[in-house]
Every structure is written in C-alpha cells, then in structure tokens.
Chain A
Amino acid sequence: MLNFILLILIYTGIYALMAIGQNLITGYVGLLSLTQAGFFAIGSYVTAILSVTYGIDFWITIPLAAIVAGFFGLVIGLPTLRLKGDYLAIATLGFGEIVRNILNNWDKVTNGPMGIQRIPMISVFGVRVSPYEKWGFLVLVWLFVLVGYLLFERLAKSRIGRALEAIREDEIAASSMGINTTRYKVWAFVFGAAIAGVAGSLQAEFILSVTPGAFTFMVSIMVLCMVVLGGMGNFKAVILGAFLIQFISYFPQLVGLSNVIPPQFKQVLFGLILVIMMIWRPQGILGREKRNAPGSFFRKGGRS
C-alpha cells in the first residue's frame, strides 16, 4: 500500500514539473498551449537515447533534455506564438502529435514502436537511486520540483513575470507600452518546454523504458487540467492540481475498487469532475494568486 502511495507521489512530482511549465505559458501569459506531451517525450527520449545508445550519465542527460526540449520550444514557439487562442491550441496540439509520429517512425534513432529498454538507473555519488526503492526516488523528484518551483516563482515575480501578466491581460496595451510581446511569449514557451523536458527525463528513469505510445495528447490535456483545476497563475495551486488529478486517476486502485467497478468508470468520473469543476469553479480550487504588485494594474483594463 505504502509503495503504491509513494508511486502516486512520484508521478505527482513528475507531472507537477510539467504543470509548472504549463502555468507559466497558460497561467501567466495566457497562451492556450497543448504541447507539453511533446516536450515531455523529447526529454524522455533524450535521456533514453543518450544513456542507452551512448552510455552517457543521467546527470549529463538531464540538462541536455532541458536544452533540447527548450530548443524545440523555441522552434515551435517562434512561428506559432503569433496565433491566437484556439488556433494556437490546435497548432501546438499538432506539434505534439508530430513529435510522437516522428518518434514512432524514426526507427534508426528511436527504435520506432519498440521503444528503448533497459535505461541505466540514476546514481548519486555512486549510490543507485532505483525506482524500486521509492523513498529515494521520491526525494529526488521532489527536489527537482522544489528547484523548479523556486526558479519559476522567482521568474514570475520579477519584471519579466509582470511583463508576461501584462501580455495576458491586454496584449495590445502591453506592446504599446514598449513590451516586446513576442520575445517574452517565446521565452515563456522555452522555459515551459525545458522544465517539461526535465520531467520527461525523470519519467524515463522511473519507467526505465520509453515507448512512443505513452506520449499522446492526453498527457498535454491532463497537464492543462492540473493547471486549471489547481488555479491558473499560482504555482502552489498547480502543484496541488497535479496531486489532485493523479489522486483522482488512481483513486479506484487506492481504495481497492479498480477490480470491482467497470474500468471505464474512472474515466467517466474524471470527465464528470472536469465538467462540474468548470461550471462550479472555473478559476480553479485556489484561484489566481492575489498580490498588489504593479502587474495587477493591467487587470482593470478592458478585455480584448
């Protein structure tokens, strides 16, 4: 039982990293991006390929995973971030599918649908952090979450963060005040992608294998739900959101009901919660962080 709870907490941590990135993109800048699955996959495969094919140590692959994912964030962000609302959503969703498509077809590098197995485990100063001994892995994952949280929270509180919020509230006003909106948007996207890459890297180390089938657009949607359910623009809230979604997903198993109820019930319940939540409390459980920073000035402005 304990092992199972620890596993849920590990998954929560991995998804919390992605949700933190999504929060910067969606919660702060207000961009409806649906592509975290793509960056997650890229991070996973960077670690898998480098460590299995080239024998490179995990601690070197993880910054590379972040960089490669961030780079793709730049590549996809530069052209698509000019798009608005749903158009951006569908274009980014498309990008996620392209990533999965390529992973599935580029047999020489990714081993296609067979995926990559036997990823070497992480070691810290010669001590193996095995995914089987859950406490160690849990601590490791949540250290990453803590670092990610502090970095992104700091970023959001800085001048950059206020500029991002300004863009969300009124892009035209923001740009007329001299904010280079495109540049800020792209940067938010790159950071959001990079942290999802880190999450992917950890995921690869936990599962010890990667297959393209695990990175469907459902992953992106889950991450978006975590952000919305927790509360947009609030990093603590999205971590809570990540926990809640994971908890709901594994609830039937946790209480020993997964064998009794029809397997579809869990998904139906999830759908119901989503609909009810949107009607009842669309701002999320904790809602947006309130503060009197100058950024809130823009909130009074008209909506476009």
Chain B
Amino acid sequence: MKKVFAVIMIVALASTMAVFAAGGKEAAPSSVKVGFIGPMTGDYANYGDLISKGVLLAIEEKNATGGIAGKVKVELIIEDSEGDPQKGLAGIEKLSSSDKIVALTGPVFTGVSFAVGQRVQDEGIMMVTPSGTHKDITAIGDYVFRTVASDGLQGEVSGHYFYEKLGVRELGVLYVKNDYSQGLYEGTKESFESRGGKVTIAETAQIGDKDFKTQLTKIRAAAPDAIYIPNYTAEMAQILEQATQLGLKIPFLSSDGFSNPEIYDLAGAYTNGVVYVGPTQVAESAPYKKFVADYTKKWGFAPDSFATNAYDGAYILFDALEKVYAATGKFDRKAVRDAFAATTDFPGITGTINFAENGDLVAYQGVYKVEGKTPKYVGTFTVVDGALVEIK
C-alpha cells in the first residue's frame, strides 16, 4: 500500500511540474531573456549564488525603470552547472534552444567557461564571464568577453609589486590545485622571478582542504620574506588562522579572492596586515558604495568582487541591448554581440570599462593593505613593457 502511495506521489509531482511548465511558456515579445550559468549546488555553490545575485540585482533595478527602452523587461534564466562542464553544456543547450536567450552572463569558473565558451562561439551567443580568470578563455573567439581581469594581468602586477614596492626577494606560496589558484601562482611566479626574485617554497593543497598546518609548518621552516596565498575566501581564512596558531610571523600577500568581505567574518583579526592585489579602487567610488548597500540590503550578505563584476557586466549588456533595440526594434544575437564589443568608456561601478580587441577587460589592478579588519586602498597599478606603473 505504501509503495503504491509513493508511486502516486511521484507521478503527481511530475505532472504538476509539467503543468507548471506548460503554463509558464507563453510567448512574450515584451521581454528579453538573458542566461546565467554557474555552480548553484555542490562545493562551490556559494560563488554561483553570490554572482547570480549581482546579475539579478542589476536586472531588478533595470526592470524597475521599465526595462529596455522603458518597456521591454529583462528576464534572467539561471542554470546550475554544478561546476561540471558536462552540466554546463546541458545548461547552455537548454538556454539556447528552449529559452532562446540573447546573451549569457557567466559561466563562473574556468573549466565550465572553456566548454560553454566554445559552444556559444559556435552558436553565436555572446557571453560575458565575471570570474573566469584563465588567460586563454577570451582566445576562444569573438563572442567571449569578461568583466574580470585575466590571471595574466593580476599575476604580473602581483609579482612586480611584491618585488619592487614590498621589497620581497624570497617568496613562499601556498596555493590550491584548482584553475584559479594555480593560474595566479604561475602568473605571479613568472613576473616575480623575471625581476630577480625567487619563489623558494611553493606548497599545494587539495580542493576542499581545510587543514593547512603541514604546509605552513614547512613554509615556516623555509622562512621566506612573505607568503603568497592566491586562494578562495574560505581557504584563506583557514590559512591565516592556522598560521597564527603555528606562530608564523611572516607577512601574507593575497589575491582578489580577498575582496570578499566574508573573509573578515571568518578570519577576524587574523586579516590584519595582509596586502592583496585585486580590483581597482572600488572601495572609493560612490556608485560602488551604493551597490554594496543595495546588494547587502536585498540579499542579507555583502557582494564579493566577482558579484560586482557581474553587476557591471549586466549593465554593459543592458547598454548593448538598448542600442540594438533602438536601432532595430528587436534583439538579434549578433547585433547584441557587436554592440557589446563596441562598448567604450562605460561608467561601471568598478571604474571606466573598456574591452580589448580579444574581449578581455582593459583593466588595472588595485593594491590594498588590511588594517585591523578594514582594507585600505594603496593605489592603482598596471604593468607596461615589463615595468610596474602606478596610475594616478
């Protein structure tokens, strides 16, 4: 009897869902669909959540003003990649063929970005990733953009800055074996050693590790001038805390993962003194402060730099959609891509945004020093012809 009941329950559930789906499928020319792909479940779900909410906030603000041209509402369709390229591909297939999206925001991470990027390039849908930092992603083709600096630039600025401004000569590194962390390590090592510095010890950790004491003990013994930890927020919090427990007195250097304010909840006072390279001067600008306040008010937690990038990416996309709609009265995928690529000097909350020929963000890097639990902005930097340049 119970079994029969269970079966009925499932069938009922399934049919309700089917009805729902059929009901939701009316053709609405008064809206334009945009897709998002990111890890909404699994170990990195936190990132998918934070970033998608940056896009959602932008869309709600836009729709509150009536939408594109004041009348066409923007609709966001979120698909879960579970951090797996296979699921990401299924997501883009569904977004492309069922939802008929005109553009894609995301994917979140490098692995999925490569798989999905090749697909959108072939299909002719533009994508703009707020967080896929691998330097080769934009090399896929002319439909792939990003509103995040590539590993290449961040690594270059980091290496030069550590050597030149901080006077570090022997660098220790603790990085995680994922694409983001390793990409930054390799970029930084290359530029740091090109200046004559030396990475004396580079320890690795596994994805999901929470115990870094073994590596830190080894680094303590090697006694470098500073330790570079290009990791995600939760891991960095662990590292800082455990370093203090081990009595490590070596200064820590970090990456844009440190721009997530969650770090100050998780690591508290251990963040004091950390120097990190991340997105430029965002803490200074008024639109940025408004964004952080709005985001925090709406979702109950603060955005990280990736969510901020996603928000900017969404507004650049709206801008492109406006132009295309004004010119043609509809949303052609190729026209949207062209309008997006033609963006110049866009006033984003992270500063003035331009895209390079290959779809990369023309970006500078900001350097921050944490005092107590507050990041203080040190300056804006970039690297020109192998030399560190400060942008005033």
Chain A interface residues (CB < 8 Å from chain B) = 1-4, 7-8, 11, 101, 104-105, 112-115, 117-118, 130, 132, 203, 206-209, 211, 213-214, 250-260, 263-264, 266-267, 269, 273, 276, 279-281
Interface segment out of the listed B176-184, B287-295, B336-344: B176-184
- B side interface size, CB within 8 A: 52
Are A207 and B3 also in contact (CB < 8 A) when A115-B179, A257-B17 are? no
Contact with A along B146-187 (1 / 0, CB 8 A): 000000000000000000000000000000011101110000
B77/A214 in contact, CB under 8 A: no
B3/A280 in contact, CB under 8 A: yes
**How many residue pairs, one in A and one in B, have C-beta atoms under 8 Å apart?**
126
A2/B97 in contact, CB under 8 A: yes
CB<8 Å pairs between A and B, sample of 8: A105-B177, A113-B177, A213-B207, A253-B91, A255-B20, A256-B99, A258-B94, A281-B3
B91/A257 in contact, CB under 8 A: no
A203 vs B177: C-alpha distance in the bound complex, in angstroms?
Answer: 23
A4/B93 in contact, CB under 8 A: yes
A210 vs B316: C-alpha distance in the bound complex, in angstroms?
Answer: 31
Q: How close is B249's CB to chain A, nearest CB, in angstroms?
A: 30
Q: Which residues of B contact A281 (CB under 8 A)?
A: 3
A290 vs B93: C-alpha distance in the bound complex, in angstroms?
Answer: 40
Cβ of B204 under 8 Å from chain A:
yes
Contact with A along B13-57 (1 / 0, CB 8 A): 110011011001100000000000000110001000000000000
B21/A255 in contact, CB under 8 A: yes
* 17 further contact pairs, Cβ within 8 A, besides A105-B177, A266-B80: A4-B97, A7-B90, A104-B206, A113-B179, A114-B134, A132-B119, A209-B115, A211-B85, A213-B83, A252-B17, A253-B91, A255-B18, A257-B21, A258-B94, A259-B76, A263-B78, A279-B3
A214 vs B207: C-alpha distance in the bound complex, in angstroms?
Answer: 13
Q: Give the residue name and chain of the B residue nearest to A117 (CB).
A: B114
A253/B94 in contact, CB under 8 A: yes
Contact residue among B10, B17, B93 (Cβ-Cβ distance under 8 Å from A255): B17
Chain B interface residues (CB < 8 Å from chain A) = 3, 6-7, 10, 13-14, 17-18, 20-21, 24-25, 40-41, 45, 76-80, 83-86, 89-91, 93-94, 96-99, 110-111, 114-115, 118-119, 122-123, 134, 136, 177-179, 181-183, 204, 206-207
Are A7 and B93 also in contact (CB < 8 A) when A113-B177, A257-B21, A258-B80 are? yes
Q: Which residues of B contact A8 (CB under 8 A)?
A: 90
A211/B111 in contact, CB under 8 A: yes
Are A213 and B111 also in contact (CB < 8 A) when A7-B89, A280-B3 are? yes
A280 vs B10: C-alpha distance in the bound complex, in angstroms?
Answer: 13
B20/A11 in contact, CB under 8 A: no
Q: Which residues of B contact A264 (CB under 8 A)?
A: 40-41
A207/B183 in contact, CB under 8 A: no
Q: Which residues of B contact A130 (CB under 8 A)?
A: 122
Are A207 and B6 also in contact (CB < 8 A) when A3-B97, A114-B182, A259-B78 are? no
Q: Which residues of A contact B181 (CB under 8 A)?
A: 113
A7 vs B90: C-alpha distance in the bound complex, in angstroms?
Answer: 7
B93/A259 in contact, CB under 8 A: no
A209/B97 in contact, CB under 8 A: no
B85/A1 in contact, CB under 8 A: no
A269 vs B179: C-alpha distance in the bound complex, in angstroms?
Answer: 31
- Chief secondary structure at chain B's binding surface: helix
B182/A263 in contact, CB under 8 A: no
Contact residue among A1, A115, A207, A263 (Cβ-Cβ distance under 8 Å from B80): A263
Contact residue among A203, A263, A269 (Cβ-Cβ distance under 8 Å from B41): A263
Q: Which residues of B contact A256 (CB under 8 A)?
A: 21, 24-25, 98-99
B178/A209 in contact, CB under 8 A: no
Q: Which residues of B contact A260 (CB under 8 A)?
A: 20, 24
Q: Which residues of B contact A105 (CB under 8 A)?
A: 177, 204
Q: Which residues of A contact B179 (CB under 8 A)?
A: 113-115, 211
Q: Which residues of B contact A255 (CB under 8 A)?
A: 17-18, 20-21
Q: Which residues of B contact A101 (CB under 8 A)?
A: 206
A113/B79 in contact, CB under 8 A: no
Which are the 5 A-B pairs with shortest beta-carbon distances? A255-B21, A263-B40, A211-B111, A3-B97, A263-B80
Interface centre among A254, A258, A264 (most CB of B within 10 A): A258
A214/B85 in contact, CB under 8 A: yes
A209/B90 in contact, CB under 8 A: no
A84 vs B181: C-alpha distance in the bound complex, in angstroms?
Answer: 40
Q: How close is A269's CB to chain B, nearest CB, in angstroms?
A: 8
A208 vs B45: C-alpha distance in the bound complex, in angstroms?
Answer: 24
Q: Which residues of B contact A132 (CB under 8 A)?
A: 119, 122-123
Q: How close is A178's CB to chain B, nearest CB, in angstroms?
A: 43
B79/A259 in contact, CB under 8 A: yes
Q: Which residues of A contact B206 (CB under 8 A)?
A: 101, 104
Q: How close is A27's CB to chain B, nearest CB, in angstroms?
A: 23
A41 vs B83: C-alpha distance in the bound complex, in angstroms?
Answer: 16
